[in-house]
Amino acid sequence: MPGRGGLVVVKLGGSLITDKHRRFSLNSNVIKRIGRELSEAVKLAGLDLIVVHGGGSYAHPVAKEYSVSEGYVDERHLEGFVKTSEAVRRLNLDVVENLVEGGLNAILVPASSIFITRSGRIITCNLEPVLSAFRIGVIPVTSGDVVFDRDRGFAILSGDGISAYLAARLRARRLIFAMDVDGVYARDRATGEVRVVEEFSRGMMIEPMGSGVEDVTGGIVNKIEEGLSAAEAGVEVLFVNGLVEGRVRRAVLGEPVSGTRLKP
């Protein structure tokens, strides 16, 4: 069961934890610092925490090269499935290692071992590894991954989708998307100015910002769509800049923080 502080799900964006312009490049110092912030927040609030991260410059280039999102069409797609899985696992280990170095008691729970999809949507999830981690006071870390799919053979399951699913199913207090930008950007209809909006709801037009590198899982549009699904289930959903020291910690603790809140 969740601790006295409830459950918080934190999604670390791929552009935050890696340099998407260079393959297999890890932002180690950022991850260690976030590990420290998360560890401090867990101790202060007595909350349960799930960390999910994106594929960044490890998984996305491989998945795109082999068109893995199409599923099992031929042997080349199968080769891409295997190579993408290998890249994801390499990133998983690198992220967990740096979170631990930052002071977070973290353990890897590969998404491919607990999720099954049908046509790319989650249909089964074995939560026992996550709940077992809660019981002994360690932080489960998972990520966007390639998983087995009932219709396609395999599919790409985004970290955004995983985060929203877990937040809604486990009735998390809040879901935090930590990115490399200050929040969700929209254009003011009166002035034409592009700025971060404090609240974002369906129907508002976004202005994509960030790395500019194509994301095989849909980028900010997918984050917002998945985030809104969690918000509509009663979860507080925030977008914050994880590059700014202290923002992830404050968001986890529910303190006032610069960023964007999703309004269902």
pLDDT in the model for residue 43: 95
pLDDT band at residue 206 using 50, 70 and 90 as cut-offs: confident
The angle formed by the CA atoms of residues 232, 233 and 237, to the nearest 5 degrees, is 70
Please say if the pLDDT value at position 23 is more than 70: yes
Ordered structural domains, the chain, with CATH: 7-262 (3.40.1160.10)
Query: pTM of the entire structure?
Result: 0.93
What CA–CA distances, in Å, run from 156 to 26, 67, 107? 21, 10, 22
DSSP-derived 3-state class of residue 7: strand
Please say if the pLDDT value at position 188 is more than 90: no
Please say if the pLDDT value at position 217 is more than 60: no
Please say if the pLDDT value at position 251 is more than 60: yes
Please say if the pLDDT value at position 1 is more than 50: no
Please say if the pLDDT value at position 214 is more than 60: no
pLDDT band at residue 187 using 50, 70 and 90 as cut-offs: confident
Measuring CA to CA, which residue among 160, 161, 150, 158 is closest to residue 72? 150
pLDDT band at residue 20 using 50, 70 and 90 as cut-offs: confident
